[in-house]
Amino acid sequence: MNTTIGENIRTMRRKCGFTQEELANLLSVTPQAVSKWENGNGMPDVTQLVPLAQIFGITTDSLLGVISASYGKAHTEACLGHERILMSSSQSAAEKALAAYTYYRAESEKEPTNYVIMRRCINHGADISMHTDLFGFLADNKELQNDIFEDCERKNICISRYCDDRNNVEKSDYAMAWIYIHLKQFDKAQKLIDRLPSLESNNLKETIMTQLIFFRDGFETEKEYIFSNVGKLFNATAKEFYHSLTQFTFFSNDPDGAAFFMERILGIMDSFKSFDNIRADVLYGENRIRRYTPRCYTEKGDIDRAAASLIVTAENFCEIARLGGIFSCSEDMKSAALSEIETAVNNAGGENGEKLRCHEDYRRAVEIIEGFEV
C-alpha cells in the first residue's frame, strides 16, 4: 500500500507541475517528508490524505489507488458542451472569455491531468489578454489580471513538460505566446513561437501521409483523407485571415484597404464552400470574418452594405443549423447567432452601431434568426 500511495503522489505531483518543496509548503511538511512518501519509505498521516487529494483535485480513493484519477473523455466533452453555451450568451466578448476561463479553471482543478481542459484555460486567458491590452478590460482589477496570466503560465509549463499529445502542446504554446505578446513580454513569446511548426518547411505530415495511404490502401481510401486535408487547410487559412483582418480593421487607419482585404478574404472562403464535407465549418468561419464587415463598411460611410452583411450572417447561421454538426439544437443556434450579430454591430462603434440597430436590415436579420425552425 505504501508504494502505491507513493507512486500516486509522485505521479500527480509531477503532472500538476509541483516540485517536492512546493507540495511540502502546501501541506506544511518538509520536502524530505514528501521525498520519503514518494520513495516508499513512509506514508502521509491520515489527516493529510484529504488535503493531498484536494491539492491534486482527485478523491482519496484515487490517491490510494482504488480507482482511476481521471474522468477522461466524458469530462472533456461535457466541458466543451458547456463552453459552447457560455460563448453563445449575450455578454461582451471579453466577459464571455472571462466566464469560460473561470469555468475551465474550476474544472481543471477537479482533474489536474486533463491537459485539454487545462489548455482551454490558456486559450481563454489569451482572449482576456487581448481585451486587457487593447480595450482596458479588468483595468480596475490588476490583481485578477495577474492571477489569470500567472495561472496560464503555470498550466503551459505543466502541459509542455507532461502532455504526450504534441498537438495539444502546440496549441498551448500558441495561446501562451499571445498572452506574452499582450503582456509585452516579447522574449518569452519568441521562445514559444520558435517551438511551433512553420509553413516554411512545407514538409507537412498531411502531404506525406496522403502518399502513404495511396500506396498502402489505394486511391478510394486516399480520397477520404484528401477531403479531410481540405478541411484542415481551411481551418488554418481561416485562422490566419481572422487575425490579419482584426489588425487591418482596427489598426491600419485605411478603411479602403481594410474593406478590400476583407472582400478578398470572403472571395477565397466562397471557393471552399463547394466542398460539402466542410461547408458548415466554412460558413461559421465566414461569420467570424463578418464580425468586422460592418466596421469596414461604416468606416467608408456605406451603412447599407454594413447592414446587408448582418442578413448574410443570419442566413449563414440558419444554413449551418440545417446542415447539423455544430449546434445541438435550434435554440443554441439562435443564441449564438444573435450574439454574433451584436458583436458585429458593437465592432462598428458607438454612433455607427446605433445607426445599424436602426436599419431595417438589422431588424430583418434578427427576424430571420428568431423565426428559424428546423
Tens of each residue's pLDDT in the chain, 374 residues: 334 688 888 888 887 778 899 899 888 889 999 999 988 888 888 778 888 887 876 667 677 765 444 457 888 888 888 898 888 777 888 999 999 999 999 888 877 778 999 999 999 999 999 999 989 999 999 999 999 999 999 999 989 988 889 999 999 999 999 999 999 999 999 999 999 988 887 888 899 999 999 999 999 999 999 999 999 999 999 999 999 999 999 899 999 999 999 999 999 999 999 999 999 999 999 999 999 999 999 999 999 999 999 999 999 999 999 998 788 778 889 989 999 999 999 999 889 999 999 999 999 999 999 999 86
Do 222 and 354 have their domain in common? yes
**What does pTM read for this prediction?**
0.71
The CATH number assigned to the domain holding 149 equals 1.25.40
Alpha helices by DSSP H, 202-329 = 205-217, 219-251, 255-272, 279-289, 293-299, 303-323
Find the domain containing 103 and state its range: 73-195
The CATH number assigned to the domain holding 31 equals 1.10.260.40
Count CA atoms within 13 Å of residue 41 on its CB side: 6
Do 21 and 160 have their domain in common? no
Do 50 and 77 have their domain in common? no
The verdict on residue 68 lying in a domain is no
The verdict on residue 258 lying in a domain is yes
Of 161, 195, 229, the position where a domain reaches its end is 195
Of 63, 82, 99, the position where a domain reaches its end is 63
Residues 308 and 298: beta-carbon distance below 8 Å: no
Number of domains in the chain: 3
In the chain, the amino acid numbered 179 is I
Do 212 and 357 have their domain in common? yes
Alpha-carbon gap, residue 366 to 374, rounded angstroms: 17
Residues 348 and 342: beta-carbon distance below 8 Å: no
pLDDT at position 67: 45
Q: Among residues 311, 309, 294, which one has the least CA distance to residue 349?
A: 294
Do 210 and 358 have their domain in common? yes
Do 34 and 137 have their domain in common? no
Cell of 107: 474544472
Do 113 and 171 have their domain in common? yes
The verdict on residue 200 lying in a domain is no
The verdict on residue 276 lying in a domain is yes
Of 195, 227, 258, the position where a domain reaches its end is 195
Alpha-carbon gap, residue 71 to 67, rounded angstroms: 11
Do 77 and 187 have their domain in common? yes
Do 9 and 144 have their domain in common? no
The verdict on residue 215 lying in a domain is yes
Alpha-carbon gap, residue 174 to 97, rounded angstroms: 17
Secondary-structure percent of the chain, ordered helix, strand, coil, rounded to 5? 80, 0, 20
Do 185 and 218 have their domain in common? no
The verdict on residue 272 lying in a domain is yes
Alpha-carbon gap, residue 156 to 150, rounded angstroms: 10
In the chain, the amino acid numbered 7 is E
Do 255 and 361 have their domain in common? yes
Do 275 and 188 have their domain in common? no
The verdict on residue 35 lying in a domain is yes
The verdict on residue 120 lying in a domain is yes
pLDDT at position 69: 46
pLDDT at position 71: 55
Please report, for residues 241, 307, 317, 339, the alpha-carbon distance to residue 263 in angstroms, rounded to integers and kept in the order given.
11, 15, 20, 23
Residues 326 and 280: beta-carbon distance below 8 Å: yes
**Cα angle value 201/203/209 (rounded, 5°):** 165
